[in-house]
Amino acid sequence: MNEIPQSWGLRSPSITLYAFHLRNSINQGLEPTVLAAPRLWEQLVDLGNALHIRELQNLRQELICYEADRYFPEAEDIFGAEYFTLLQNQEPSLHFQVPPQAGELELQGLLCPFRLYDTYAIDLTLYSKDTFTLPQLSYFNAQNLILQNVQAFLGQTLLLFGQPLEQEDNYQVLADVCVAQLFPGKHSIELVDTGSLLGNPIFEYESNLTNSVNKLHILVWFKCQDMNSIHMDRVAEILLHLLWCRHKILYVYHQSRWCVNQTKKISGSLDQYRSKFRQIYEATNRRSPLINLLNQLQQIELDYPNYLDDLAEHEKTIGINEINYKTYLDKLEKHPESELSFFQEFLQRVRNKFQRQIQVDRDYLAIGRDRLQRLKATVQESIATEAVASKPPSGKESGEQERKFALAMPEKSHYYGNHALKSNMPGIPPKIYPRLRQALSDCDQFKSHSRLFNFFDANEPLKPWCDDLPEVDNRTERAERLIGFLVNEIRNDTKENVLLILLRLLKDQIDSIKPLHQTLSDLLQELAPILSDSNSNSSAKVVPFSKPTNLESLPKAELVLEANPKGEPMRFIAVDEKLLNCARTVARVSVPKIVSGSIKKIPTGTGWLVTPNLALTCWHVIEARNPKREPPIRASDLQKQIANSTFTFDFTQPGEGIEYDIEQLEHEDVNLDYALLRLRDRQDYPLKKWG
């Protein structure tokens, strides 16, 4: 459309920037935040300088995370809550005026800065009570200053809101023109889809850039009929959380692509190292070059699993945020006359593309890890069998190489009965053990102790061992401990090694086209003759020493390391399992503190599921008031707090967990400080799952 009809315009338009910036990361070490955490606030100060907005220029003085203009994030710790405003005195927003340029209309503004779990978030709104023609919408984004100055790490969304001057048959054309006026010259912005929110049309636009910082995500929402103000306030809060989950998913998926590229580079270099090994092996003096090659492979072996671990962490983070995104979307679509198919389509894209792609990448890259381990094992064997040169090496450098080699080579393992005198697993050759450990830790059953327990309990050949499974916190150690636990265990009826039974059952659970299925099959073939032979000779594997040994000949320092010298009774794992089951009923309770209809912050407490639908928590958690300093809660505020509170089960770390709304308050006792609440069940995650 070349000419804009003069009748087109918007009453009381506003533009809101939702921006999300990373505050914390698992890679920040001992620092309180990531290095770039304060950048969002510095960018807002720069925006204030560009637009001559005094309140933004002095923003550091208004934020609780600054002391005397110095970033001091530790000041946030006193609040305890995971979603709260960052303004001093817990003010909900910072109001300001935008000085008009020549010929421009006057704009008002407000800034709502938040701490949202591990993220800094802002709601920056510019608005006017005047009527704007469509060309005048460019005043909201003069010279593209907002997006040039504010580039949040996780991403951002721009929301245009206003009332059309006239009723239209097709509001999409009007929305297209509005976007073109806000972003002149941006030809890569395309309409994604349309929907309805509170009975009014809403449109989604997106640029085709892949970088989360530079990518434009735009919503246009027209007010064509009146809306309930309470519904609008609630929608604004839910939309903030929904967009937060969306941008975290996109950012993490973008990070996963980087991990995949780095891992593919390493995997692609293995052919060069294999060729190098062949060249060394054809030479006469092989030992020193082989040791150098082994050192290089060991460095790669450190990097490769790190990237795979990061990829697994990215997959987990996307899965958690996908669940949270769906929770917030369900809440949004519960509002009257709301149909948001484009938000649903994003959810399908996460499930059908992002999560599946990462799963495919992990399976594919696991092959490279196996190739690396096989090459390293081959080099180690070659060094072990290579004869030492007739002239012994001299000099500090050669001695250092030999020392590194000694540390790199796997330690010989000696066992007396079932008591390890040195580290390694009995009966498992050093070249097989790393692949076995990695393959087991890659199995879904090793994600948690409960999943592994359920797998043993569900399979009759493994069931006798389910109550004695070792409990540890991570998958790799869980695999190590289980190998040591089962390597010498055999069934009395079939005389079959239990570790072999486990490998066979795990293999049968995996699709035959997946690389992990083939890896487990190979391990079964390699270990079957080793473990079957050892078990046919003795139930307690004995690896003989180089010299005959008895208990009297063992050094005293080794004898005193007996695990249970006092013969105390064993602690049965069933006790710990019972405690774990009880812990599943515990939830984090998030209650928005509402005063005179306005949310101040969202403190948290603890709740317990006492029946499949009833939960118990403290009354002071639901009330969210300090009786010594604040008046009693008003009935209207209490109802709003209950309606907007959530119970989060499986809350293992910030941003994770399964949320449930409160249906109603069943009973409370202020003196005994308890409240009994009925929770709203979910079909995808029934409450009975938690006890």
* Same domain, residue pair 38 and 175: yes
What's the pLDDT at 2?
59
Is 311 within the bounds of a domain?
Answer: yes
Is 372 within the bounds of a domain?
Answer: yes
* Same domain, residue pair 58 and 125: yes
What's the pLDDT at 571?
53
Is 322 within the bounds of a domain?
Answer: yes
Half-sphere exposure of 440 (CA within 13 A, CB side): 27
* Same domain, residue pair 336 and 368: yes
* Same domain, residue pair 466 and 510: yes
What's the pLDDT at 538?
41
Domain closes at, from 524, 544, 564: 544
What is the secondary structure of 188-249 as a DSSP string?
A: TEEEEEEEEETTEEEEEEEES---TTT--EEEEEE--S---HHHHHHHHHHHHHHHHHHHHH
Distance, CA of 49 to CA of 251 (rounded, Å): 29
* Same domain, residue pair 205 and 317: no
* Same domain, residue pair 223 and 255: no
What's the pLDDT at 212?
59
E strand or H helix at 449:
helix 449-458
* Same domain, residue pair 198 and 61: yes
Listed as ranges, residues in the chain with pLDDT below 70 are 1-2, 102-103, 186-187, 210-214, 386-427, 533-578, 652-656
Is 553 within the bounds of a domain?
Answer: no
* Same domain, residue pair 436 and 527: yes
Write out the residue range of the structural domain in which residue 639 sits.
580-690
* Same domain, residue pair 290 and 342: yes
| CATH code: domain of residue 656 | 2.40.10.10
* Same domain, residue pair 599 and 686: yes
* Same domain, residue pair 259 and 201: no
Domain closes at, from 487, 517, 544: 544
Domain count, the chain: 4
* Same domain, residue pair 326 and 373: yes
Is 240 within the bounds of a domain?
Answer: no
What's the pLDDT at 211?
64
Other CB atoms within 10 Å distance of the CB of residue 179: 20
Distance, CA of 19 to CA of 428 (rounded, Å): 53
What's the full length of the chain, in residues?
691
Distance, CA of 637 to CA of 624 (rounded, Å): 10
